[in-house]
Structure 1
């Protein structure tokens, strides 16, 4: 199965503390870096995504398998 791909501006959802969070993809991360206050291990073959929560305004980093495109428009 092909890896999910997202781009900046995509509206996504993810599971956070037992509920569903919504937000927007800020950036695709393809190399080891620091983001959202933590060290992120990523590569072109195993990217991660920086997302910004609609509710809290906070940033988080997630693997593509944890994200789903939002159905809202």
Structure 2
């Protein structure tokens, strides 16, 4: 079973620039438009919006791409 995350969780993920960390600011459980693309999400496979600690950039990722930051 995939890890579940909630708003306020601190997580890390890999990007082309290396490992990034940030805080979840939104959880999507249905399809949503973000930066010109439709992101597919369901209650069983949500997508998360995360604000980067370093740049304040907002990214959208599936839970499988995220890890809880210890």
TM-score where L is the length of structure 1: 0.87
Aligned residue number for residue 9 of structure 1: 8
Aligned residues: 69
Structure 1: segments with no counterpart, 5+ residues: none
* Partner Cα separation in structure 2 for residue 68 and residue 3 of structure 1: 10
2:41 alignment partner in structure 1: 42
Distance 1:16 1:42 in 2: 20
Gaps of 5+ in 2: none
Displacement over 2 Å in runs of 4+: none
How large is the Cα RMSD of the aligned pairs? 1.1
